[in-house]
């Protein structure tokens, strides 16, 4: 019997208090592929994920649960979960939208709209402070391990690519506390280095990195940290994205989105409070002498370089549920978290600077791009609108600006506009120096210093050009628009007949 079916009642409506409840809903919606056994010593799980993406696309491939997995010559019990936030309708499921369909873009759009509707009148997210529960009531403490009892190597953490430095815990929210900035939660990959030792990889200038460097500068001997595995979808998304600003508490913002306080519990070996309803918590100390880490297959889909100096953590305690669940991110292969929360944040933030903004979309399947749609009225507006993005969205190397009739969730439609509406000269701006992404494999050696990466960016104005911009007095119509002008109900009619026309069609 499936995990979902074995639950007496399945709550299909998010937000969910745990990853397990979310996965049960996902399974009930038919979004989960169960694989009883897979041999990761032969990289079969990785190859399967690539194949699922090849076949169904980044926003259509199912979540996968591997029940048993072979790692380092041993069959280990899972479940190991992957691509649990892959399909776009997972966003709608996690956010509690009632009508779930397989129309993935429509589901993502619905999720985005729901999140945007949750902002207050100043465009800010509501916060609800977490509440502390007793240790005995916390599911993440059903099993408590300390000292020599801890052997992280016994758990099914994967090596995703043979070129990676080794096995990684790569979906943990690393929680730290700093008296000045408060609490931080960030997802950083952690290389397994021994039974009680792991790497911790906040990239330079991430909030987590700032926390650790501030503690180092204050002369503290180490930072206390707790790594949370398997948080509920919203708490996990808060740790995985820049929805919170430095100093804002991701756990309180998660509570705001969930409409109820997140339950937190005190760690065994520190005063840190961590989400209680999770699969596992790995507690420890991060000293400030650095060690080698990596290489690792990065989000751009290219192998990163080995780092000569990176943080590591000495593990002081591990607590977990009975039969914990594990999650692996196939980085650069699949989508990793609910992106609508972050994208709604970007939309609201930039709306203040760009009044005619209709939407921003950062497509994760083609890292480096950002699509912007505007309600264009004046010449030159595309560049004015894109300008703030070049400064504040490091990942946006290629910014494509389109008119509001183009669906920015549809890459093909955006590229169609680029092909048809864009004249490279003069409708292009190149910004020679702008803050950029260290992981971008195209960054040149001279563009990187220890603390900064300066890359170039391009703005492509693929909006219809107005006469003042050299465009025609009357812009040619789309063929489709011409059809609809003459036959406004033609699609309604054909949609009614479609099932009949398609009935003998086999895919």
Q: Kindly list the residues in this chain that would bind ligand FMN in the complex (CB under 6 A).
A: 170-171, 184, 186-189, 201-203, 206-208, 240-242, 329, 336-337
Start-to-end C-alpha separation, the chain: 29
Q: How far is the CB of 22 from ligand FMN (least distance, A)?
A: 16
Residue nearer to ligand FMN on the CB measure, 171 or 367 = 171
Q: How far is the CB of 105 from ligand FMN (least distance, A)?
A: 22
Task: Extract the tokens encoding 486.
Answer: 């003459």
Q: How far is the CB of 187 from ligand FMN (least distance, A)?
A: 4
Residue with tokens 């180490």: 222
Q: Phi/psi of residue 323, each to 5°?
A: 45, 65
Residue with tokens 């549920």: 321
Residue nearer to ligand FMN on the CB measure, 347 or 394 = 394
Given a contact cutoff of 8 angstroms between Cβ atoms, the answer to whether 390 and 459 are in contact is yes
Q: How far is the CB of 317 from ligand FMN (least distance, A)?
A: 22
Instruction: Give the per-residue SS3 of 189-252.
Output: CEEEEECCEEEECCCCCCHHHHHHHHHHHCCCCEEEEEEEECCCHHHHHHHHCCCCCCCCCHHH
Separation between Cα atoms, residue 164 and residue 242, nearest integer Å: 26
Residue nearer to ligand FMN on the CB measure, 161 or 171 = 171
Residue nearer to ligand FMN on the CB measure, 253 or 399 = 253
Task: Extract the tokens encoding 450.
Answer: 């220890």
Separation between Cα atoms, residue 337 and residue 326, nearest integer Å: 15
Q: How far is the CB of 271 from ligand FMN (least distance, A)?
A: 20
Residues in the chain: 507
Task: Extract the tokens encoding 441.
Answer: 């494999």
Count CB atoms within 10 A of the CB of residue 478: 12
Q: Tell me the residue number closest to ligand FMN, measured at CB.
A: 186
Separation between Cα atoms, residue 300 and residue 332, nearest integer Å: 6
Residue nearer to ligand FMN on the CB measure, 22 or 337 = 337
Q: How far is the CB of 123 from ligand FMN (least distance, A)?
A: 19
Decide the pairing of beta strands 273-275 and 263-266.
antiparallel
Residue nearer to ligand FMN on the CB measure, 110 or 251 = 251
Q: How far is the CB of 31 from ligand FMN (least distance, A)?
A: 19
Residue nearer to ligand FMN on the CB measure, 367 or 373 = 367
Q: How far is the CB of 172 from ligand FMN (least distance, A)?
A: 9
Separation between Cα atoms, residue 76 and residue 71, nearest integer Å: 7
- Minimal CA–CA distance to 400: which of 433, 422, 432? 422
Given a contact cutoff of 8 angstroms between Cβ atoms, the answer to whether 198 and 190 are in contact is yes
Q: Give the angle 23-24-28 at the CA atoms, nearest 5°.
A: 115
Residue nearer to ligand FMN on the CB measure, 100 or 299 = 299
Q: How far is the CB of 67 from ligand FMN (least distance, A)?
A: 22
Residue nearer to ligand FMN on the CB measure, 301 or 355 = 301
């Amino acid at each position: 019997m499936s995990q979902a079916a074995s639950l007496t009642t399945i709550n299909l409506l998010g937000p969910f208090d745990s990853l397990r409840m979310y996965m049960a809903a996902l399974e009930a919606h038919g979004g989960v592929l169960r694989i009883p056994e897979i041999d990761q010593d032969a990289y079969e799980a990785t190859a399967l994920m690539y194949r699922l993406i090849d076949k169904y696309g980044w926003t259509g491939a199912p979540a996968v649960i591997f029940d048993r997995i072979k790692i380092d010559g041993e069959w280990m019990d899972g479940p190991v979960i992957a691509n649990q936030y892959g399909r776009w309708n997972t966003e709608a499921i996690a956010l509690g939208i009632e009508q779930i369909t397989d129309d993935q873009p429509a589901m993502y759009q619905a999720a985005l709209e729901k999140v945007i509707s949750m902002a207050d009148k100043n465009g800010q997210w509501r916060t609800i402070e977490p509440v502390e529960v007793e240790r005995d009531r916390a599911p993440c403490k059903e099993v408590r391990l300390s000292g020599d009892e801890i052997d992280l190597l016994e758990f099914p953490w994967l090596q995703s690519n043979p070129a990676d430095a080794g096995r990684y815990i790569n979906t943990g929210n690393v929680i730290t506390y700093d008296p000045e900035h408060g609490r931080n939660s960030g997802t950083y990959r952690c290389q397994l280095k021994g039974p009680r030792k792991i790497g911790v990889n906040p990239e330079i200038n991430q909030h987590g990195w700032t926390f650790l460097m501030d503690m180092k500068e204050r002369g503290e001997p180490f930072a206390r940290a707790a790594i949370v595995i398997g948080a509920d979808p919203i708490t996990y998304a808060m740790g995985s994205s820049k929805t919170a600003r430095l100093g804002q508490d991701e756990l309180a913002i998660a509570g705001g989105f969930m409409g109820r306080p997140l339950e937190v519990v005190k760690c065994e070996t520190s005063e840190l409070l961590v989400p209680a309803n999770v699969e596992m918590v790995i507690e420890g100390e991060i000293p400030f002498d650095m060690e080698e880490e990596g290489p690792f297959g990065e989000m751009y889909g290219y192998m990163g370089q080995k780092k000569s100096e990176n943080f590591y953590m000495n593990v002081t305690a591990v607590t977990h549920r009975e039969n914990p669940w594990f999650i692996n991110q196939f980085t650069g292969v699949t989508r990793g978290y609910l992106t609508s929360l972050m994208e709604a944040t970007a939309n609201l933030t930039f709306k203040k600077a760009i009044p005619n903004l209709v939407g921003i979309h950062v497509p994760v399947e083609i890292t480096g791009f950002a699509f912007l749609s505007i309600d264009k009225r004046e010449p030159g507006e595309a560049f004015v609108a894109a300008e703030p993005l070049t400064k504040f969205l490091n990942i946006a190397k290629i910014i494509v600006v389109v008119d509001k009739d183009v669906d920015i969730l549809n890459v093909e439609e955006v590229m169609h506009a680029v092909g048809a509406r864009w004249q490279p000269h003069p409708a292009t701006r190149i910004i020679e120096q702008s803050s950029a992404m260290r992981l971008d494999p195209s960054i040149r050696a001279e563009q990187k210093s220890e603390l900064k990466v300066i890359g170039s960016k391009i703005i492509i104005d693929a909006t219809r050009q107005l006469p003042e911009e050299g465009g025609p007095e009357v812009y040619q119509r789309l063929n489709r628009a011409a059809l609809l002008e003459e036959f406004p109900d033609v699609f309604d009619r054909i949609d009614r007949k479609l099932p009949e026309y398609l009935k003998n069609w086999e895919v």
